[in-house]
Amino acid sequence: MGDVDVRAGEENFPVALRVLPARHRRHLVAVYGYARMVDELGDSYAGDRVAALERVRTQVDDLWAGRTVDDPVLRRLAATVVECGLGREPFVDLIEANLLDQRVVAYASFEDLLGYCRLSANPVGRIVLEVFGQSTPARVALSDDVCTGLQLLEHWQDVGEDRRAGRVYLPEHDMAAYGVSAADLDAPVASPALRELLLVETERAAALLGSGDPLVRQLRGWARLAVAGFVAGGEATAAALRRSGGDVLSVTPRPRKAETLARLLRGVVWQPPGGAR
């Protein structure tokens, strides 16, 4: 499995990562490193991906059992698990999502896709709340909406790339309703029907992301800044998709950094975040 270079600056969402105190940044880097490793094994590992993911699961079991783990990514994560008292389930769910990717290449309905996001996206938000010691059932519910919205927006950005990898995340029922075929995803430019569908899907994702405002208001200190960064990145991504007019095949819509920062500052209604964990 090996080490992972966590290039947080290349991600759409953790825009606040670099300004957090070192201890929070260290924990989040450990979590992102794990998530990136699992995703890379599921997406691009040249060997037996299922076997590789199962090996990670075994080491996760070892970590929570207090046994020594060999992988450097998991060794780095071990300190975070102990210091923050993190639960095992979200980390296993991320493995399950990537195992699902090995056998499912399309989703019939939007509800089916939401089920996938519960494994692939929502665990990250739950872990972040635990890292900051601010997890409650109400906040977890809001975080799940936000994380699902972020995951959907990433899927809509990468429709062409996912298609080339043999996966289609646009729900089959929605494609049929808008007269979009799988072959349309192979074109160099999105058809009018595909553009219309992508804009509709963008608004569905943005509606879920709307849970970010009440979530940010409930958080305090550095957690508020970190989560506001995720939300701002998602809002800027939705804006980029809208600007593209739904043509995600000729170019991948990317959020503007200045717009992300402006949305972050508006979302957090900036105050010095001292006094929190």
Overall average pLDDT of the 7-24 stretch: 60
* Statement: residue 31 has pLDDT above 50: yes
Q: What is the pTM of this model?
A: 0.88
Average pLDDT, the chain: 89
* Statement: residue 14 has pLDDT above 90: no
* Each residue's pLDDT tens digit, 149-161: 999 999 999 999 9
Question: Does residue 136 contact residue 125 with C-beta atoms inside 8 Å?
Answer: no
* Each residue's pLDDT tens digit, 63-92: 999 999 999 999 999 999 999 999 999 999
pLDDT at 267: 65
* Each residue's pLDDT tens digit, 162-210: 999 999 999 999 999 999 999 999 999 999 999 999 999 999 999 999 9
More confident residue, 7 or 263: 263
